Amino acid sequence: MKESILIKIMRYFFSIRGVLDEHNLREVNKVATNAFMFLWIYTAVANGALLIVSDKFLTHSTLIWFLFVNLIIALGGVSLYVTRKISKLKLNYREVSVEEYPKAVHQAIIHGAWFGIIYGIFCYFMMARIQGLFSLFTILFTLFIVVMGWTSDTQKEIGHIVKVE
Amino acid sequence: MNRVREYRKNRGLSQFALAEKVGVARQTVNLIENGKYNPSLKLCISLAEELGTDLNTLFWKVDETK
């Protein structure tokens, strides 16, 4: 069965590797609902608090701190919660038969390569701002990041493949 | 409890093989067999078809006294 784009996005963000059947989909929906409710309440409380704070406290640095705390709690906290739940439900594991294992490993290597390349591009532009676009250091650093990203992600992906008899 | 495990074993299928045939995860088959998950009617029908039986035999309350 062909998966919709939404399911593919959900798979990517929730690191779901196995079969997304009705049971797993229900569990993922529960996690997503909890995450949504937390974000909704947090947004209401955080923005409400900012509205009632006196003007004299609303300096530029206060707002930067507010933004920083929001990123840590809303993005970091929710990511941590979702990752932990998905891991607990073992949805990040992929079960394959012995015959399909080499193919799954190959797919993990390809996944790792994409991860390394995207991570590398991101790091290249970050470093290019500091060292220059064609700096040798930028290029070597990017290559290092690509190799690191590739190997670490491949290792993680292979670790999540389970051979089933 | 249901009789999915009994029928699966009679057919010589592993949980993984049955799961692949009906398009679900092995864990889901395990949960169904242990009565920890109530599958949808669509999945029940797929299971019954794959195990060569009907819904009544597979899911109707098993008489423990027999």
Classify residue B24: in a domain, yes or no.
yes
Host domain of residue A81: 1-92
Is B13 in CB contact (< 8 Å) with chain A? Answer: no
Q: What percent of chain A has pLDDT over 70?
A: 99
Query: Which of B14, B16, B37 faces A23 most closely, judged by CB atoms?
Result: B37
**Do B24 and A21 count as a contact with CB atoms less than 8 A apart?**
yes
My answer on whether A55 and A118 are in the same domain is no
Give pLDDT, residue A56.
79
Give pLDDT, residue B62.
62
Q: pLDDT tens digit string along B10-22?
A: 999 999 999 999 9
The CA distance from A65 to A80, in Å, is 21
DSSP readout, A88-128? HTTTT-EEEETTTHHHHHHHHHHHHHHHHHHHHHHHHHHHH
Q: pLDDT confidence of A8, banded at 50, 70, 90?
A: confident
* Domain final position from A62, A92, A122: A92
The CA distance from A16 to A139, in Å, is 33
Number of domains in chain B: 1
Please check whether residue A91 is in contact with residue A28, taking contact to mean a CB–CB distance below 8 angstroms. yes
Give me the mean pLDDT over the A78-95 stretch: 88
Query: Which of A21, A97, A165 faces B25 most closely, judged by CB atoms?
Result: A21
Q: pLDDT tens digit string along A18-57?
A: 888 899 889 988 999 999 999 999 999 999 988 888 787 8
Residue among A1, A123, A19, A120 nearest B27 (CA) = A19
Host domain of residue B47: 4-59
Give the chain A residue nearest B41 (alpha carbons): A22
Number of domains in chain A: 2
CATH number at residue B19: 1.10.260.40
Query: Which of A22, A90, A165 faces B14 most closely, judged by CB atoms?
Result: A165
Is B40 in CB contact (< 8 Å) with chain A? Answer: yes
